[in-house]
Chain A
């Protein structure tokens, strides 16, 4: 417990506190009056309002499209299910720049829709909402679907037998059982879309601004640190509230249900209704998730086959000091380091949280661990700059900052994956081993480790994929001679010229393939209780 706390205190709480203090403390005096000033501004109120309603709309839209898919993945058997489950997860770990450009290629100027029907959605709120669905589809499918697959179908069947209509059986039996999972998924989607940055920047154009975008603008462009600090606090409060509710629903879900093996609940589709549902879900996935990715791959292949890919190996003196393909190795190295840190920190935290005697304080830490997901990357990035500047921790120019920032984002996923499994380990096994004279270290090695090994691997895989795609914090910290894949993509996209655009698409495709491969391996390792994020 001490180590995760120290880690988060040092690399998250302290930098963020440093930058907020810098903004709110003028000549040693706290300017709390600024909070009321800033929140009272009509512009800020407008941003708050937009942030909230687009997050609500995105969440509703995501639930609407993804819940049928969650059912299909949970209850129906069809060929290619495993691959498809990995495919729908790819967008979630894809960096927003890549997904943003994929969407632009679909709904933007001279995008596919524009060429077919003259429909353009970029700079409209629809592009933002659709992209949010694209990103968060997997959150619902995995969180809700994971539980749904383990719900005992006999309960609903029993209700039907006792004379309930199909809708009544669903309303009275299945829905209440699923409700906590749906709520948890909805809250996660709400959290991710509430703090949306890249999507809004790329697809929204200059007229739309979320809280996160505004914090970025105030810090990085206007340099009004006090406004940025107030906005950071507002976002903090909002995210804290969301997480508190989330922690509560998660706990309810873990306690009260009778679960069965996911393998026995799925069956091949029966009847026209189920076939139609399957077809509808597959069509939705094809249009909303696969098509943008396909457009991306297609665009990477424009220059006589693999021309753009070959160009990646040429060193160029301007934007990079190395050949762009070098970014692949840098990314893999950083992601591996970040994964090691995230698994260590997240694993220890999960172990502490899973203990039966864990008090309220420890449980509160559970929610705190998720906080890095909801705090602006620019806040953390600028915080690193002013907090970690003294020896022995002058890390400002060190490469380790990048994996550290990525581990901050990866660790919550490790905790979320490990926790349910660790909680499920029968405490009597540990006690028996201890009674038989095993040291605590040996108990852990002989009892816990074999039981959680698969979950550990799944957690590591997720942390790896998330680190690989992390963009917001990395872009602030990564050095130009060592760009990661998403940073390299963003730089290539920001340069004019056909070759740069093509190379960006090619690098994006490589990134996508690496992520998909990592996720496919995870699918093979998937344990029954690790469906939660």
Chain B
């Protein structure tokens, strides 16, 4: 028995010391001088802007990226009651109801909310979430391909089902990809609860291709993107974002005078992202200061080039590249979060059996 006791004690001590140094950084989150942001992997801010926040508010910002947008929300719901941080950023209108119904947030009306456009304020009675940014999911087209083939690029949802555009569109799986879901919801908003299935039957007959994720669709199958050109993509239409054309310009090795891609401006679905004060946050004061910061002009103007989204605060300037290379969506489709929550699972299910099987 002697040897076993020895080993058990040694290992026990080892594990305790391991967990002790492990929880070392865990406890620092409870420290009232630190505010912990839980977000998805796309969260980004300029270093200078973050330092400004820390200097002005006196809080140190700690960021916890917790997977993609859906995963981050799900994990936050699972850890409700003992949250991993104080403030959450990155729940969008397609997931908003899930977060609110689960009581993820506590109310707080951020300072400067009056400057946020009314159309973005989807919880304006209770202020459980604060709108931070928006973006439009739209079909992009390869300009060179369409001019080569002397074809007018599509503009509307209906255009995409026309024979002229047969076998040209690639989109993403609505059940695994956020732009894929956005495009489905956009079509449902445009054609109604009963009409969207017929629309997708037509799209399918017109040779729409579905891949799992945005990366694959945009950087491999689409012929207009830098990645797609390299990979030999042969689809000149792709479901992406209204901000993708400016991104093509800004990330090019040699900056072209115009964007190589364009946007089918009447195929858009609006995505709004929110932040909120987590229920049972350990540092609610710090979280409130951070929410104020998120809709400050400084952050709102810094945000577009970091996350490729548009500001929601009136008077915040959009970078020149955005307006120059990317046209704005025309009356993007929208849908109430409650309606999305009520239908999304069912729609995705019928969409899957309709389009994929």
Contact = CB atoms under 8 A, between A and B. Distances in A.
- Most chain-A Cβ atoms within 10 A of its Cβ — which of B8, B16, B41, B75? B75
A3 B15 CA distance: 11
B251 A222 contact: no
A527 interface: no
Tell me the dominant secondary structure on chain B's binding face: helix
B23 interface: yes
B45 to A, nearest CB: 10
Contact of B22 (A224, A398, A498): A398
B2 A440 contact: yes
Contacts of A503: none
B86 to A, nearest CB: 13
Contacts of B356: 206-207
Contact of B25 (A219, A397, A441, A498): A397
B18 A385 contact: no
Contacts of A396: 26, 79, 84
Given A3-B8, A206-B176, A221-B70, A440 B78 contact: no
Interface in A181-225: 201, 205-207, 217, 219-224
Contacts of B251: 497
B63 to A, nearest CB: 8
A495 B79 contact: no
Interface string A397-410: 11111000000000
Given A217-B175, A496-B226, A498-B226, A400 B19 contact: yes
Contacts of A318: 44
B29 A390 contact: no
B1 interface: yes
B74 interface: yes
Interface stretch (B132-140, B214-222, B262-270, B289-297): B214-222
Contact of B232 (A22, A109, A385, A399): A109
A207 B19 contact: no
A501 B210 contact: no
A440 B1 contact: yes
Contact of B215 (A221, A224, A493): A493
Contact of A206 (B2, B4, B7, B173): B173
Contacts of A109: 220-221, 231-233
A328 B308 CA distance: 30
B98 A223 contact: yes
Contacts of B219: 496-497
A345 to B, nearest CB: 9
Contacts of B343: none
B258 interface: no
Interface in B1-32: 1-4, 6-8, 11, 16, 18-19, 21-23, 25-26, 29
B57 interface: no
Nearest to B8: A3
Contacts of B29: 397
A480 interface: yes
Interface in A350-400: 382, 385-386, 389-400
A441 B3 contact: yes
Nearest to B232: A110
Contact of A495 (B21, B71, B215, B353): B215
B23 A394 contact: yes
Contact of A497 (B21, B176, B226): B226
A348 B10 CA distance: 13
Interface in A388-444: 389-401, 439-441, 444
B327 interface: no
A518 B20 CA distance: 31
B111 interface: no
Nearest to A345: B11
A476 interface: yes
A206 B212 contact: yes
Contacts of A82: none
Given A3-B8, A205-B212, A217-B176, A400 B18 contact: yes
Contacts of A67: none
A272 interface: no
**A-B CB proximity, top 9 nearest:** A398-B22, A441-B3, A496-B219, A206-B173, A400-B22, A110-B232, A496-B227, A480-B65, A440-B3
15 contacts: A109-B220, A110-B231, A205-B212, A220-B74, A222-B348, A391-B23, A392-B19, A395-B26, A397-B26, A398-B26, A399-B22, A400-B21, A440-B2, A494-B215, A495-B215
Interface of A: 2-3, 22, 43, 109-110, 201, 205-207, 217, 219-224, 317-319, 344, 348, 382, 385-386, 389-401, 439-441, 444, 476, 479-480, 491, 493-498, 501
Given A221-B70, A385-B78, 8 more contacts: A217-B175, A392-B23, A397-B25, A400-B18, A400-B21, A400-B22, A493-B215, A498-B227
